[in-house]
Every structure is written in C-alpha cells, then in structure tokens.
Structure 1
Amino acid sequence: MYTYTPSGVCSRRIDVELDGDVIESVQFTGGCDGNLKAISKLVAGKPVDEVVALLEGNTCGRRLTSCADQLTRALREAQAARA
C-alpha cells in the first residue's frame, strides 16, 4: 500500500494499492465522499497508464488540480516506489 498526501484539494490522503501496473484499490480520506468512492470503483482493475491519460490535469473549480489529478500523481509515485 502506498500513501500519498494530496495538495491543493479537499482530500487529505490517498491510499493506492497496485498489482504491477494495474490498480488494485484506491481509497481517499476526506473530500467529496460519493464522488471519490465512485472514482475508486471506476479505476480498480485498470492499468495505471490508462487512468493517468484520462484524469491527469483535471481541475476542480478555480483550483489548478483536483482529487482526480492528485490521484494520477499518487499512482505515478506508487509506481516509482515499486521500481
């Protein structure tokens, strides 16, 4: 399990579990509960590269990032930590 501390968003923590380059599970702490639970379900079982291509750069309101964008950063860091 890799724990990432997001920046510039409402969520306070993202826990990522990878199986190779496939996302096994994602859990957000804080933030928009229903939306983040849905994102977690939608990305489970998907390759990291596919999810990053879809969500990287996504913004939230006037913020330059979003919980989805922060997830892409967490996924890349989790990959790097395993290498």
Structure 2
Amino acid sequence: MDNSVFQIEPLAPLTIPADEDTELFVPKGVCAKLIRFAVEDNRLTRVSFTGGCDGNLKAISALVEGMPVKQVLKTLKGLTCGKKSTSCADQLCKGLEEYLEEE
C-alpha cells in the first residue's frame, strides 16, 4: 500500500467575467452555479446557465428566449427538481424577480 501524502490546495475563487449586456444571478440550492440573462422590451433574451444539467438547461434557455418575463414567471416559478425545494428554472425566476425589483 502506498502511503503517499497528498496536499490539497484550496480552489481559487470563482471569477465571473463582466458582461454589461447581461444580468448575473447566483442560484442557491441547485446544480447550476450561475445564470446570465438579459431583458429587452419586457422579454427575456440571452439566457445561459453555467453548471447543471447541460441539455435540460439549454432547452429551457431556448424555450424561454423571447418570452415575456411575466409569462416565464407564471410558467416556471415554483418548479422543483427531485427532492429539492427549488430548481434551476425556479432560480431563473428568482433572478428575474430580483431584476424586476431593481427596475
């Protein structure tokens, strides 16, 4: 048996490249680590997720692209994932709600 000692280095802090054209939201309680989106004329545009279930999140992004923000909230708010009390789609809604509060 090899008794080598491994030294674990701490991970560097996550740096998020600035993009003035999109909003950033850090979701909680889901696999996705970052949600980017833009709102133009009360419609959701340029939606992307970092982390999470790649295919499903690409599908959600494609489906909500161009949809009115209020319709996105009505459709996706409150959805859960497995035994979690939230989902990536629900977290997108939380990000949109924060955005609307700041407007």
TM over 0.5: yes
Distance (Å, rounded) in 1 between the aligned partners of 2:39 and 2:101? 11
CA contact 1:16–1:78 (8 Å) conserved in 2: no
TM-score w.r.t. the length of structure 1 is 0.94
More displaced stretch, 26-35 vs 71-80 = 71-80
Q: Which has the larger radius of gyration?
A: 2
Greater relative contact order structure (CA < 8 Å, 6+ sep):
1
Distance (Å, rounded) in 2 between the aligned partners of 1:77 and 1:49? 13
User: Which of 18, 34, 46 is equivalent to 2:67?
Assistant: 46
* 1:63 partner SS: coil
Give the alignment of 1:9-28 within 5 angstroms.
9-28=30-49
Per the alignment, residue 57 of structure 1 pairs with 78
Q: Give 1:34 shift.
A: 0.2
Per the alignment, residue 91 of structure 2 pairs with 70
- The structure where helix makes up a greater share of residues is 1
TM-score w.r.t. the length of structure 2 is 0.76
User: Over aligned residues, Cα RMSD in angstroms?
Assistant: 0.9
- Cα pair distance change 1:74/1:49, threshold 3 Å: same
The one-letter code matched in structure 2 to 1:56 is K
Q: Give 1:27 shift.
A: 0.5
Structure 2 gaps, min length 5: 1-21
